[in-house]
Structure 1
Amino acid sequence: MPIQFDAEQRVFHLQSANSSYVLQIVKGEFVTHLYWGKKIKFYRDSSPLAFVGRAFAPNAEPKEHNISLDTLPQEYPGFGTGDFGAPAYQVGQEDGSTVTDLRYVSHKIYAGKPALPGLPATYAESDSEADTLELLLEDQLTGLQATLLYTVYNTQGVMTRSVRLENHGQQNLKLLRALSASVDFRDDEYDMLTFYGAHLKERNIARRPLVPGIQAAESRRGASSPQQNPFLALLRKDTNEDAGEVYAFNLVYSGNFIAQAEVQQFQTTRVSIGINPFDFSWLLEPGASFQTPEVVMVYASEGLGEMSRILNKLYQSRLVRGKHRDAVRPILINNWEATYFDFDADKITAIASAGHELGMELFVLDDGWFGRRDDDHSSLGDWVTDLRKLPEGLDGLARRITDMGMQFGLWFEPEMVSPDSDLYRSHPDWCIHVPGRARSESRNQLVLDLSRPEVCNYIIQAVGSILDSAPISYVKWDMNRHMSEVGSAGLPPERQRETAHRYMLGLYRVMEELTSAFPDVLFESCSSGGGRYDPGMLYYMPQTWMSDNTDAISRLKIQYGNSLMYPAVTMGSHVSTVPNHQVKRITSLDIRGHVAMSGNFGYELDLTKLTEEEKQTVKAQVALYKEVRELIQFGTFYRILNPFEGNEAAWTFVSEQQDEAVLAFFRVLSQPNERVQILRTKGLNPNYLYRHLETGRVYGGDELMYNGITLPRLEGDFVSLFWRFEKAGEQ
């Protein structure tokens, strides 16, 4: 049984495929943390809590327990009864106080994994895949109950946590803080890993030693954001890609979040993660409940590489859903950087026709097809085809393209409204705003108020109507600004600080209804690129446009950073023109192709302007990707050289059977008198022989991993290799 309960010691031992998590009910009331780490068969009280007296540490009631909550490692700590660390929850009461004291009441253990109402979450396809522990805690004075949910996967190294808060009292309560998980570590000898960035330079890696006090990653933008990602990991000081302990936390949520580590006075560390309490509250009336988002927690003893492979496998197989989860993704051509807003049906048809001739499978019509959208100043919200550009309508254009044998896809930005639009003129109160305050615009647009059911219903109807009107098999769902003047005309004053979270609940409802109504449509999420690349979005949309920066050299870091959490099949990656439109860099088609082929492959340029030589290169790239895409999209990914640490990057994809591999190498700048480069690959079977398809040479898997393979001398800047290996026997 993955969850063991010792009734005498009141100890719960949760076992995933590779880890153990141990907690104990102390003195019959206090839920305490004992251990999280490498899997052990049985916990025999090897690390009992030491109730050491500390000066000025208040004793919890009743005093004879001789327990101070300021030193007790807790599973869901509060504030006001002696714990001075960062609380996981805080509740305002009608008398103005914020003191609560949750104590253990009961528990239950059962097979399977419950869904979280209205929220995305990982799932189990059968009850045999996972087991769940629910701990019920209660504050006797207010009647507040908290159910702590823990699920462990039996064959994956994953545990998930969330909390359900319920008001069983007689007074209104106001949640001021409702985090999803808190873990108290007994020391502070860690580095903290988070991700930072901005539009066009998402997912940079930040690693720094823990210091006393709070260090955090967070978003207050109404989206998970390109600036931070809802992820935090603690790493032992000697941890690297292939060795060392990692404790990782990833929030399955797409809105405001906080992920923080607090080093406390006695050199202990508290990690907490969940909805950002900044500008948040939630009125919890008697009988009402509030569900926090899920946290995915991973322990790895073999470095960041093992952590990533655990997360990648979980997200690909038990977060992404629907028919596209296990299906290879089509190679697409998107017209955005080819035409921007300046196109007509004939221009689009010509680009699609050129793509079809080169072997591409999907054409995607980007922004500018609706309303009177000749630039970014108008028409968002008016999801009606612009017949000036497309006189045959969307259906006519789509059928031109599908008659070629290609699929047809379409760009939307459903969450936004232009002040210059029929929708805004009809419903100026439908945007997020504060009465009497100016409405800040970004990209000449405002955010629709998805906390309001009528706004959600409009989006469902408008987008659904378009999807019903033509043979559309793909949707790129964009979101190009963050929230300001956060308020809702649909909420009373006491609920205004619920707006941002209610927006996310509304968005998730919209996505659930549309993806369920159109199960054959492949949805891709986008937020000015990777501004909302998070597990919450992947639950509804199985791939993400990683960045609006399509420069191959910039993408080395963007793709490397994303790979720490998210599988390659979720990463939209395109070849664009040169000079690149974002950084003006000129690179070869080879390296642009090799970088893009390391993810979910496509093109974003005017194919009608390619030379004959360029067409042949593109045609060869498309043909090659079709041969290896199942391996790249669903194989196991190993990082080899880190572009954040040097002039080179390298990674490899290995099939589940270890009988096939792709090795990619990239060098940014040429250097004089460079050393001979020997590259050691990873993930192969040491007992297999592998044929290098580019040379015909045969090597042992052990030889390729331990000794490595010598790379040819490469001349010039921005160069790459993309090598294939196939099993040639056993040794």
Structure 2
Amino acid sequence: MSIYYEPDHALFCIQTAHTTYAFALNAESRPVHLYWGAKLQTLSDLALLTGNLHVETNGDSSFRLRTNNQYEYRAGEPYSYEEQALDLFYSDGVRGAQLAYRSHVISADGRALAIELADGQYPLSVTLRYEIYPDLDLITRRAVIRNEGSEPLHLRKMQSASFHFPRGVQYRVTHFAGNWGAEYQKQQEMLPLCRTVIQNNHGNTSGPHAVPFFALDPWGKADDTSGEVFFGTLHWSGDFKITCERTELGAVSVTAGVNDEQAAVTLHSGESYETPEITAGFTTGGFGGMSEQLYDFQLDHLLPQKRAHNVIPVIYNSWYAYDFRIDEEKILGLMDRAAELGVELFVIDDGWMPGRDCDSKGLGDWVPDPLRFPNGLRVFAERAHAQGMKFGLWIEPEMVNPDSDLFRAHPDWVLQSESRPQTTSRNQLVLNLAREDVLAYVLDVLDRTIQENELDYLKWDMNRYITDWGWPTGSKEQREKLPLTMIENIYGIWTHLNEAYPDLLLENCAHGGARSDYGMVRYTDRINRSDNATPADVLLLHEGFSTLFVPKSAGGAGTFNGTPGVPYAFRENLGFTGSMSIGVNLLRCSQEELNAYGASVAQFKRERADLQNSYVYHLVSAWNSPYAVWQYVRRDRQAFTVFGFCFGRHFPDDRMARVRLTGLIPEAFYECVVDTCSSEVDGQRYTGEALMQIGLQLPLERNYDSVRLVFRRVM
């Protein structure tokens, strides 16, 4: 796998483990896409696709130009009417660019390409950067836009990349959308003859109303185990836009990057703007094959690598027991009970600041309440460490209550308009993290909080969207770029946390799954999947989440939360699918309940090594059936777990059909070592081939039936 340049045809070819991606320079030296799909073993075959590129622009060639203008980075070229990747104004008022090849560099290891383009009439250059990874069928792209002149350039749109797909095919688009408590709802439709836009414009989050991700499968035929799928995910946690477009000429493309509705950038002489990365791939293994690629990318390249392959500790969080109504006595009592159950990490959530007995005050004053915590918070770290637990704390550093000492001292630190009244949400205002003094304050707060309280874990929350894009004292250019600078500075803070505290576990929480994106994956160990812990909803939430993110990173609401009417076994099995957390008031539990929780924690610890770094295949989708069957396969294929859940059945019928498994070694023998429903497979051995071709019969007959079958390779 490597990146090649073939000068005879001005051809660039990117070879991954199983795919080929190619583009070439046309008669005007503009990079034009040629091919993306299954790997071509003979690269000279790509010459078949270069013949139509060299079309002169005079005469009646406009139609031919329109059918061959699949530019790698569209910037306003003639006869290009599709979504542009770059839109700008020069100082003389001329709009758009016409970019031609200037030079390129391929890295010594053949895994990175930088191709520099330039506008022949204006001092503008754009460098397109490509990167590939060992054994993965993924390409990461970004663009660097540079002003090489003396007059300013005004960028109005600066997308990360455009992708083109084979013509003459109908595509189904898949993405995930939703709301608070209803994140990652699978959306699928055949791509119409128009632009289909997936976007977010809430300011400081990537969702949960839309996840910065797309997938296209030809003719809508892919399932979880087979079929061609093109896909991509943007590394950006603010406003984004992904435009999927099908034209009247049969061209299909996707252009993705930051949302151009709010932000703009002015580049002065010598300045540049680098777009967020987007990682895209192609697979013939269906949506499960796509998930495999994305999991490998996260575990081996994107997650903080020092901690990436570690298991996530079993967590207890104080919020579910007492919400804001916490004090030293309650916390110490909960800690003792949690330690007895085998909990490995105790987290104090919201409510520890002065006067913070509700959501309308105290936010921004990051010191312990002296009345409820007279000995501070360090006493909890000491107690946790003495009991063999880690200690964590909740914080929401981007926000402030109007009723707080911080706001009274610095009312100018929040986003606001000079001429309009301030708007609150959850009684909060948003700090302007584009300001250097605010940024310095937040960094100081985090350093002090981590060090003074000996934190092993930090849960960063963010509980409102932006409504007031105002910065009265900022320059015009600062205000234009404000939505971008806010997110860039947030990334800067998270970079500092990882560099200064490499052993600190970090949870990315944003009122549920509002920052579920690959921009944040780079910095965090857990992502708040959702605040919703209702088991029937979690089936849908986790299926969407685990399509894109490794299952162990699923944070948020407690696994065990006392949902009435739901059998314990159902909640336990569902809890094993992510990172286990306990969210009940342990001081009010019976001894029988405590014993059950302790047994679940102990069993989870025995099984989690086979679960938390596994691939997940959604063999039967909760979106399409009253059953959900998920298979977790360890990446080395030496162990796997089958989860089955029944919910939503209205009428009795025959037993559900056999479910054929996937992702196993055909000739290997696997033995069932855990069978939670005492079915006929307990202790039995099967070949991988039999399990994939014949399958298993799961005893799911009534609502809230569930099963967990653990297999390990024995031969």
Residue 672 to residue 163, structure 1, CA distance change in 2 (3 Å):
same
Residue from 275, 283, 287 that aligns with 2:270: 287
Is 2:698 the partner of 1:719?
no
CA contact (8 A) 2:9 2:50 kept: no
CA distance in 2, matches of 1:708, 1:100: 57
CA contact (8 A) 1:73 1:185 kept: no
CA contact (8 A) 2:27 2:53 kept: no
Q: Which residue of 2 aligns with 1:607?
A: 586
Is 2:682 the partner of 1:700?
no
Tell which deviates more after alignment, 394-403 or 216-225.
394-403
CA distance in 2, matches of 1:475, 1:402: 16
CA distance in 2, matches of 1:312, 1:61: 49
Q: Which residue of 2 aligns with 1:483?
A: 466
Q: Which amino acid aligns with 2:710?
A: R
Residue from 183, 187, 201 that aligns with 1:206: 187
Q: Mapping of 1:196-275 within 5 angstroms? A: 196-222=177-203, 223-237=205-219, 238-275=221-258
CA distance in 2, matches of 1:66, 1:706: 50
Tell which deviates more after alignment, 274-283 or 565-574.
565-574
Question: 1:701 Cα deviation (Å)?
Answer: 2.1
Question: 1:494 Cα deviation (Å)?
Answer: 3.8
Q: Which residue of 2 aligns with 1:119?
A: none
Is 2:10 the partner of 1:13?
no
CA distance in 2, matches of 1:415, 1:281: 22
CA distance in 1, matches of 2:439, 2:59: 50
Question: 1:445 Cα deviation (Å)?
Answer: 0.3
Question: 1:66 Cα deviation (Å)?
Answer: 9.9
CA contact (8 A) 2:644 2:708 kept: yes
* Residues 421-466 of structure 1: CA deviation (Å, up to 9, x unaligned): 1111111111112212111111000111111121111001011101
Q: Mapping of 1:215-614 within 5 angstroms? A: 215-222=196-203, 223-237=205-219, 238-572=221-555, 575=558, 580=563, 586-614=565-593
Residue from 90, 94, 100 that aligns with 2:91: 94
CA contact (8 A) 1:576 1:605 kept: no
CA distance in 2, matches of 1:409, 1:403: 14
Residue from 106, 109, 117 that aligns with 2:106: 109
CA contact (8 A) 2:31 2:101 kept: yes
Question: 1:249 Cα deviation (Å)?
Answer: 1.1
Q: Which residue of 1 aligns with 2:27?
A: 27
Residue 579 to residue 353, structure 1, CA distance change in 2 (3 Å):
closer
**Which SS does the other structure have where 2:157 is aligned?**
strand
Q: Which residue of 2 aligns with 1:138?
A: 118
CA contact (8 A) 2:559 2:580 kept: no
Residue 574 to residue 18, structure 1, CA distance change in 2 (3 Å):
same
CA distance in 2, matches of 1:578, 1:15: 48
Q: Which residue of 2 aligns with 1:123?
A: none
Question: 1:374 Cα deviation (Å)?
Answer: 0.8
CA contact (8 A) 2:62 2:79 kept: no
Residue 520 to residue 51, structure 1, CA distance change in 2 (3 Å):
closer
Question: 1:141 Cα deviation (Å)?
Answer: 2.3
**Which SS does the other structure have where 2:459 is aligned?**
strand
Tell which deviates more after alignment, 475-484 or 343-352.
343-352
Residue from 152, 171, 175 that aligns with 2:132: 152
Question: 1:108 Cα deviation (Å)?
Answer: 1.1
CA contact (8 A) 1:453 1:506 kept: no
Is 2:55 the partner of 1:76?
no
**Which SS does the other structure have where 1:481 is aligned?**
coil
CA contact (8 A) 1:241 1:305 kept: yes
**Which SS does the other structure have where 1:273 is aligned?**
strand
Residue from 46, 49, 73 that aligns with 2:48: 46
CA distance in 1, matches of 2:73, 2:539: 39
* Residues 345-384 of structure 1: CA deviation (Å, up to 9, x unaligned): 1111111211111111111000000132110001111111
CA contact (8 A) 2:27 2:54 kept: no
CA distance in 2, matches of 1:4, 1:65: 31
CA distance in 1, matches of 2:423, 2:405: 19
Residue from 141, 147, 165 that aligns with 1:167: 147
CA distance in 1, matches of 2:255, 2:708: 41
Runs of 4+ in 1 over 6 A off after TM superposition: 61-67
Q: Which residue of 2 aligns with 1:121?
A: none
CA distance in 2, matches of 1:181, 1:273: 6
CA contact (8 A) 1:281 1:495 kept: no
Q: Which amino acid aligns with 1:242?
A: T
Aligned-residue Cα RMSD (Å) equals 2.0
- What are the ranges of 5 or more consecutive residues in structure 1 without an aligned counterpart? 54-58, 112-127
Question: 1:88 Cα deviation (Å)?
Answer: 0.5
CA contact (8 A) 1:322 1:519 kept: no
Residue 148 to residue 283, structure 1, CA distance change in 2 (3 Å):
same
Q: Which amino acid aligns with 1:13?
A: C
CA distance in 2, matches of 1:93, 1:28: 22
CA contact (8 A) 2:103 2:116 kept: yes
In the comparison of the two structures, how many residue pairs are matched? 702
- What are the ranges of 5 or more consecutive residues in structure 2 without an aligned counterpart? 676-681
Question: 1:713 Cα deviation (Å)?
Answer: 5.4
Sequence identity percentage = 29
Residue 470 to residue 575, structure 1, CA distance change in 2 (3 Å):
closer
CA distance in 2, matches of 1:650, 1:573: 22
**Which SS does the other structure have where 1:78 is aligned?**
coil
Is 2:675 the partner of 1:688?
no
* Residues 657-677 of structure 1: CA deviation (Å, up to 9, x unaligned): 322221111101344432223
CA contact (8 A) 2:561 2:584 kept: no
Residue 372 to residue 38, structure 1, CA distance change in 2 (3 Å):
same
Residue 63 to residue 189, structure 1, CA distance change in 2 (3 Å):
closer
Q: Mapping of 1:613-628 within 5 angstroms? A: 613-628=592-607
CA distance in 1, matches of 2:260, 2:24: 28
Q: Which amino acid aligns with 1:12?
A: F
CA contact (8 A) 1:261 1:269 kept: yes
**Which SS does the other structure have where 2:365 is aligned?**
coil
Residue 148 to residue 346, structure 1, CA distance change in 2 (3 Å):
same
Q: Which residue of 2 aligns with 1:124?
A: none
Residue 170 to residue 63, structure 1, CA distance change in 2 (3 Å):
farther
Question: 1:655 Cα deviation (Å)?
Answer: 2.2
Question: 1:680 Cα deviation (Å)?
Answer: 2.2
Tell which deviates more after alignment, 646-655 or 475-484.
646-655
| TM-score, normalised with respect to structure 1 | 0.93
Question: 1:81 Cα deviation (Å)?
Answer: 3.0
**Which SS does the other structure have where 2:210 is aligned?**
coil
Tell which deviates more after alignment, 95-104 or 536-545.
95-104
Question: 1:95 Cα deviation (Å)?
Answer: 2.3
Residue 604 to residue 587, structure 1, CA distance change in 2 (3 Å):
same
Q: Which amino acid aligns with 2:65?
A: S
Question: 1:609 Cα deviation (Å)?
Answer: 1.9
* Residues 505-564 of structure 1: CA deviation (Å, up to 9, x unaligned): 111111111221122210000010101111111111121111000112111111111111
CA distance in 1, matches of 2:400, 2:557: 28
Q: Mapping of 1:172-183 within 5 angstroms? A: 172-183=152-163
